[in-house]
Amino acid sequence: MIKINNKKDERKDVLRLENLTIKFGGLTAVDSFNGYLKEGELIGLIGPNGAGKTTIFNMITGIYAPTYGTVTFNGIDITGMKPYVITHLGIARTFQNIRLFSDMTVLENVLVAEHSWLQNYKARKILHKHEPEKFPRPHWKPWFWSAVLKTPDYLKMERHMKDYAYELLKAVDLDKFAHLKASALPYGPQRKLEIARALATRPYLLLLDEPAAGMNPQETQELAEFVQDVRKKFSVTILLIEHDMKFVMKICERIYVLDYGKIIAHGVPEEIQNNKRVIEAYLGDESYV
Amino acid sequence: MGTKRISFKTNFILTTVFVIGVGFLLLAASHSVGDYWVRIITLMAIYSIMAISYTLVNGVTGIFSLGHAGFIAVGAYTAALLTLPIQQKTMSFFIAPLIWPLNSIQMGFFPATIIAGLVAAFAAFLVGYPSLRVTGDYFAIATLAFAEIIRIVIQNSYSITNGSLGLKGIPPYTNIWWAWGWLLVTIIVIGSLKFSSYGRALRAMSEDTVAAGAMGINVFKHQLMSFVVSGFFAGIGGALYAHWLTTIDPRPTSLGIMLTFFVLIMIVIGGLGSISGAVLGAIFFAFAAQWLRIVESPMNFFGITIPGIPGMSMLIFATVFILIMLFWRRGIMGKDELSWQYIYDHFAKKAGDQD
Amino acid sequence: MSHLAQNLINGTLLGGLYALIAIGYTMVYGILRLINFAHGDILMWGVYFALYMVIALSMPWWLGFIVGIVLAGLLGFSVEKVAYRPLRNAPRISALITAIGISFFLESLAVVVFGGIPKSFNIYPKFFNKIVIFNHLRIQMLTFFILGVTFVLLFGVLWLLYRTKTGTAMRAIATDIPTTSLMGANVDNIISLTFIIGSMLAATSGIMWAMRYPQVQPYMGFVPGLKAFIAAVIGGIGSVPGAVVGGFILGMTEILVVGFFPNLAGYRDVFAYVILIVLLMFRPTGIFTVYSEQKV
Ligand SMILES: Nc1ncnc2c1ncn2[C@@H]1O[C@H](COP(=O)(O)OP(=O)(O)OP(=O)(O)O)[C@@H](O)[C@H]1O
Ligand SMILES: [Mg+2]
């Protein structure tokens, strides 16, 4: 039984995962995961290698379909939806091993994510159906033809996309590299660019898969500030996977601990730090705790 | 890196001047080089259209199709059936008469070409929709299988395509102006597509479909769209080709896998994914194919006649092709385009090296 | 009744020929993830080799066939060494394009060396043309010969793969190249051996094909090659037993459909392609699943 605090949290649920389970052949990679994220929270998901953390991200973003269980995002059941629809609904992510479009420039990487602005008709229809008052009935626009014929409408959109992309790059301090190939960036900035690219889809919920992997302590320190900064500036809810305990303990409000696909602990950082099962799972590896 | 960016206005003016310049060159050529070479220059543009449409799929979008000849064949047959004079039709179709309404239609070249493009685009949709569910090599094989199905259906549908007898006496409408005019249209449309938000999405998908999907791109829809646009221009290319050849038939060596292979050579030489590279590759191919005819015809050295070797030119092409894949995979242009900026950067770099 | 039996025999015969070719595709794909487009053309070269051994070097037919098959094995070995090995770490599309290039190269080279016109392959003893009548069934001696050779080879290959050390190493490489090289098996040698065996099997199939439709031409490898690849996909690419089963399914389907619907004969080649497309849409991993989806 998990007790965090007894007073009721009035904020609305951004994400709710219920009995989320996935099997790969004989292996149950994630077993009945239950969890939630409240609006504006910054939550950590930790666990030893192969615990199933990335797999949870893949199920939230529609890359894998869960064997059973549901994913509810802002009250909408998104289980089994296509990744692009889920992105348009407002979930963006980064990848554990950076997956930038390395042959494209830094600016283009961000612009690619903004292409979703032209393509979100289906998602807006879902939103309209869900909350007709809040989301007006969407209008379908033949953006493809506008783009090929370069109509004024499209050119205006393109300018708008470029402006926003530069703004984003400035916010993450990458604007001076805008015309460099993404693969030419050093490792740290590549991680930042991946976050910027995710933000360009204008998400509510941001999923970060080991953002501090491969960084030195000082870079990790900066990243911690950066993540908190992003949360404030872009008012996103964040769920992050991380192995660096200091990092997680410092910035996360709540933490889920996963081992062999099962939740073994859930609570605020202090609780997790002293949890016996967590310490066991990390098997006395002092450097972690 | 302090290289100057060339403004949109300069770019536009230079490009317009260039297009007009090419127009004058073609005009001059059409009066001076003789009918034979005018035909070759026309063929260069037809090949270019086929190559650009192919590189949109295989290079820009990064899905490897082997079905291009199928769409070219659809375009060629559609256009030919629409422009063939009615008496010619009754004469050619002696195994089974041509069905209505094709037996009573005869229209101009331009509408026939457009319809050919649309029919080929529709064929591309029908092929792409199931094939794009699989990726990589499987997609290549699926499209190859579809192209073969198209060819075999053409070969057996005597009352529509005249089967293995093929179509003869197609009016020789394709001249240098139609071909180069359509090439200009192809470059503008596919170029505009490549340098738009959609083009960026296609390039992103060619690098990583999973990341592209996670960034909100409907990968399947964009691949299909690229495939259909490619099919349209392949159909246009086919229509022009049919009215250049004046006879077409469904043998594997004419509108089958061999043609796909030729267009593949063009885009590999030019650089997969580059429109200007595709044009350069196509021009090179058309030119080299002519030039290599020498090795296949008997030669006379100081009174000694060396017999020509049939098949030699194909062997040379195949060798060059393999060498390029092993040692020069980038091709002429890589993924870049021959833009004014590209030329300027190159010269700026050269000048910089000399300092 | 005898019509059905006749068709079943023909189907088995054709299926066996496809199976022998398909084994090479599936083994190479298992190890290199490469569709060896040149496989069908190596088959064609094997047939020409055999033909020239017999008519130009006047070897006895059986020796000519064996030498032809060995030479085809050498050709497969060289193709891998010269063209595929340098591209092993290149993008897979590059290797695929190169394979197409090699296929075209081997075809054009055959046109230059042997000429583009089909040549007769009537170099085997007349004995094979004899027909035995068996319960109203008319069976050529050649049929027995082909069926016999096919089954001996199929069982031989399965024995090699599942009952010998070399075979175990081959199967290990097919699942994971890096770990096997750590385990000490010499990966390069195993890959070469795979190409040699695959090419020799294909050449054997090609020679028997040429005996049945007694001619040989430079493009004869394309269609059987493509169909054998489809057979490999039907069986689940990467799986040798799968390729064998796939070959028989494909051969039987073709013969039976044409046998019972003779007016579809013109579309005979289409069946294989339609089967392929339907399969790719609904079960791309084939009957015997070997690979799972890639991890993210
Ligand atoms: N597509 C797949 N097919 C088969 N097994 C998979 C697949 N994806 C993940 N797994 C397995 O599921 C388990 C959980 O993997 P996952 O990547 O989620 O772990 P993780 O917690 O992210 O670990 P790490 O800290 O190393 O990133 C692993 O055993 C992995 O091998
Ligand atoms: Mg992980």
Task: State residue C155's pLDDT score.
Answer: 93
Token pair for residue A253? 């409000």
Ligand nearest to the CA of C295: 1
Q: Domain for residue C296, yes or no?
A: no
C288 found inside a domain: no
Asked if residue C291 belongs to a domain, the reply is: no
Size of interface A-C (CB pairs under 8 A): 7
Distance CA A226, CA A195 (A): 10
- Higher-pLDDT residue of C151 and B102 is C151
Closest ligand to Cα A258: 1
| Per-residue model confidence as pLDDT tens digits over A24-81 | 888 899 999 999 999 999 999 999 989 999 999 999 999 999 999 999 999 999 998 9
Closest CA in chain C for residue B268: C97
Least CB-CB distance to C296: which of A24, A25, A58?
A58
- The amino acid present at C144, given as its one-letter code, is F
Residue-wise over B68-107: b if at least 16 C-beta within 10 A, else e? bbbbbbbbbbbbbbbbbeeebbeebbeeeebeeebbeebe
Q: What is the pLDDT of residue B177?
A: 95
Question: CB of B203 within 8 A of CB of A103?
Answer: yes
Q: What is the pLDDT of residue B115?
A: 98
Beta-carbon separation of C296 and A25 below 8 A: no
Q: In the predicted model, what is the mean pLDDT of residues A111-126?
A: 92
CB B62 within 8 A of CB B207: yes
According to DSSP, the β-strands at A76-77 and C215-216 are unpaired
Residue A289, pLDDT above cutoff 50: no
Q: How far is the CA of A256 from the centre of ligand 2 (A)?
A: 14
Residues 6+ apart with CB under 8 A from A203: A87, A90, A91, A92, A236
User: Do the beta carbons of residue A174 and residue A110 sit within 8 Å?
Assistant: no
Residues forming a β-bridge with A209: A241
A55, A242, A262, A282, best to mutate for ligand 1 pocket (most atoms within 8 Å of CB): A55
Q: Kindly give the confidence (pLDDT) of every residue in chain B, 355 residues in length, as a single tens digit, with 9 standing for 90 and above.
A: 455 777 888 888 988 899 999 999 999 998 998 899 999 999 999 999 999 999 999 999 999 999 999 999 999 999 999 999 988 888 888 888 888 888 888 899 999 999 999 999 999 999 999 999 888 888 999 999 999 999 999 999 998 999 889 999 999 999 999 999 999 999 999 999 999 999 999 999 999 999 999 999 999 999 999 999 999 999 999 999 999 999 999 998 889 899 999 999 999 999 999 999 999 999 999 999 988 887 777 777 777 777 777 788 889 999 999 999 889 888 898 888 888 888 888 887 767 665 5
User: B215, B230, B272: which to substitute to probe chain A, counting the most A Cβ within 10 Å?
Assistant: B215
Domain count along chain C: 1
CB neighbours of residue A196 within 10 Å: 24
- Beta strand A27-38 with A13-24: parallel, antiparallel or unpaired? antiparallel
The confidence score (pLDDT) of residue A1 equals 41
For the domain made up of B8-354, give the CATH fold.
ABC transporter involved in vitamin B12 uptake, BtuC (1.10.3470)
Give yes or no for a cis peptide into B101 (omega within 30° of 0). yes
Distance A210 CA to ligand 2 centre (A): 7
The predicted model scores a pTM of 0.92
Q: Is residue C293 part of a domain?
A: no
Residue C296 forms contact with A (CB below 8 Å): yes
Residue C291's pLDDT band (cuts 50, 70, 90): low
Q: What is the CATH number of the domain that holds C219?
A: 1.10.3470
The two tokens of residue B84 are 């063939």
* pLDDT score of C292: 47
Q: Where are the beta strands (DSSP E) in chain B?
A: 299-301, 304-306
**Nearest in space to C205 (alpha carbons), one of C188, C221, C190:** C221
pLDDT value of position A89: 95
Whole-Å CA distances, C216 to B70, B122, C63: 27, 38, 19
Joined together, the tokens standing for residue C120 give: 């007769």
Q: At what angle do helices C39-55 and C222-235 cross, to 10 degrees?
A: 130
User: Which residue in A92, A103, A161 is closest to B197 by CB distance?
Assistant: A161
Single-letter residue type at A178: A
Give residue A27 CA to ligand 1 midpoint distance, Å.
10
Domain enclosing residue C28, as ranges: 2-282
Q: Which two tokens stand for residue B325?
A: 């894949």
Q: CB distance C98–B144 less than 8 Å?
A: no
Helix B312-327 × helix C92-114 angle, to 10°: 160
The torsion angles phi and psi of B93, rounded to 5 degrees, stand at -85, 75
Question: What pLDDT is attached to residue B130?
Answer: 92
Lowest-confidence region among A82-86, B283-287, B349-353, C20-24? B349-353
3-state secondary structure of C213: coil
For the cut 60, the answer to whether the pLDDT of residue A283 exceeds it is no
The token duo for A96 is: 């554990």
Sorted by sequence, the CB contacts under 8 Å of residue C272 that are 6+ apart come out as: B145, C226, C227, C230, C250, C253, C254
ipTM of this complex prediction, to 2 decimal places: 0.90
What are the structural domain ranges in chain B?
Answer: 8-354
The C-alpha atoms of residue B219 and residue B216 are separated, in whole angstroms, by: 9
DSSP letter at B93? -
